[in-house]
Structure 1
Amino acid sequence: MVDAFSVMNLVGLVAFAVVGALKAADADLDLFGVAVLGILTALGGGTMRDVLVGRTPASLQSVADVSVAFVGVGLAVALSSLVSGRLRDHPAIQLPDAIGLAAFAATGALVGAEAGLSPYGVVVLATLTAVGGGSLADLLLTRVPVVLREDFYATPALLGGVVFWALVRGGLSADFAAVACAVFVLVVRLVALRRDWSLPRV
């Protein structure tokens, strides 16, 4: 039987590998740089999540996660040859980015609940897993991480973690709550992109 974590993790790995690799292509990096950013974006958030709950990162225990991430990198290389102009605001990067954000928010929440963390801990893990890899990739590209400067990016993941916790607290299964969390995050992120939502600046 396939569990929610495995499905969400698979979706998130491919989506974020595509996103990271396309960011690298957009920055005119060579093939090695494209692969590094793709793999880092896919695995970075999950690695930080696992370290925080005191377990060996899944990506270091088998080649499965890395292999899936390489598939995403390959897809990105194919996409970059089909899309002209800058990729940052193209649907080719925005849609997989939203999908990866949603999937990894759900996996982070699941791990947090499984580790017996507080509601705050569950929300933090959901958010960190969703935005961690992309933030590391932005730092390698010497720019302020998008999570700190742009619209509703981390906010949907944070709210998704709250939704997950509320559903589990209400007696629903963690798998159902994870799916609901992912759907919620995806919808909010896509609506935010469509309507150009942003948080107020100080």
Structure 2
Amino acid sequence: MHTLVLILDLVGTFVFALSGGMMAARRRLDLFGVLVLSFAAASAGGITRDLLIGAVPPAALVDWRYPAVSLAAGVVTFLWTPWIERLQTPVRMFDALGLAVFAVAGTHKALAFGLAPPMAAGLGMLTGIGGGMLRDLLMTEVPLVLRAELYAVAALAGAFVVAAGDTLGLHDTATAVAGALVCFGLRMTALRLGWHLPVALTSRNGRIPPRDRR
């Protein structure tokens, strides 16, 4: 279990750092700005998870591999931004992959620390969305989780698969792969088809709620 969580954490760290670095590069930040945003996007979710379950100090602050991976991803993004830009919607693709991996890793670690499966799934979702939220806030944007197509819902779905697999006694690796695929597939499908949760009706979208009409 420990090895699986570590591998998932490092993979999620790398891909979330790429998403942060790509956003920084698109905003024309310098090398330091790219590295800062890469580290913030890659580490916020994991640090939040570790603090909530009592795994202190957080792994991202005591294990050199975490900052090394995130900074390496930042350097890769800074040097090869044009190549990465050739991928279709690179920021959102890397973000969806990081979301999936972190949601699965967060759930596994929460289960390992003795949390009940429903709470572990909730913490897995929080692990997945934390880095993206901090990244967007640093770029003075409304966090993607509050406005995007099935973002937190996708993370919760993947985390629920892992929690359910643990309850049923299924193999950890199988449930991790299944959970990541569910989260990533749901997020990318939502992006492609425009699936989203209902939004409040306001005058801004041209429809005033009946109670506000005079």
TM-score after normalising by structure 2: 0.86
Which residue does 1:193 correspond to in 2?
A: 191
CA radius of gyration, larger in: 2
**Offset of 1:160 from its aligned partner?**
1.1
Which residue does 2:19 correspond to in 1?
A: 19
Which whole-Å CA distance do the structure 2 matches of 1:91 and 1:49 have between them? 28
Pair 1:78 & 2:76 matched: no
5 Å-filtered alignment, 1:55-134, equals 55=55, 56-82=57-83, 90-134=88-132
**Offset of 1:83 from its aligned partner?**
6.1
CA contact (8 A) 1:151 1:197 kept: yes
CA contact (8 A) 1:4 1:179 kept: no
Does 1 or 2 have the higher relative contact order (CA < 8 Å, sep 6+)?
1
- Structure 2, unmatched stretches of 5+, are 201-214
Which residue does 2:179 correspond to in 1?
A: 181
Pair 1:54 & 2:82 matched: no
The alignment of Structure 1 onto Structure 2 pairs a total of residues equal to 199
Which residue does 1:40 correspond to in 2?
A: 40
Identity %: 38
- Structure 1, unmatched stretches of 5+, are none
CA contact (8 A) 2:77 2:84 kept: no
The aligned amino acid for 2:89 is P
Which residue does 1:142 correspond to in 2?
A: 140
CA RMSD of aligned residues (A): 2.0
Moved over 6 A (4+): none
The aligned amino acid for 1:109 is T
The aligned amino acid for 1:139 is L
CA contact (8 A) 1:12 1:42 kept: yes
CA contact (8 A) 1:135 1:147 kept: yes
The DSSP-based 3-state class of the residue aligned with 2:80 is helix
TM-score after normalising by structure 1: 0.91
CA contact (8 A) 1:79 1:92 kept: no
Which whole-Å CA distance do the structure 2 matches of 1:107 and 1:18 have between them? 18
The DSSP-based 3-state class of the residue aligned with 1:143 is coil
Distance 1:16 1:75, change over 3 A: same
Q: Residues 81-118 of structure 1: CA distance to partner in whole angstroms, max 9, x if unpaired? A: 3467xx9x943222211111111011100011111112
Which whole-Å CA distance do the structure 2 matches of 1:75 and 1:198 have between them? 32
The aligned amino acid for 1:67 is A
The aligned amino acid for 2:21 is A
**Offset of 1:2 from its aligned partner?**
8.6
The DSSP-based 3-state class of the residue aligned with 1:3 is helix
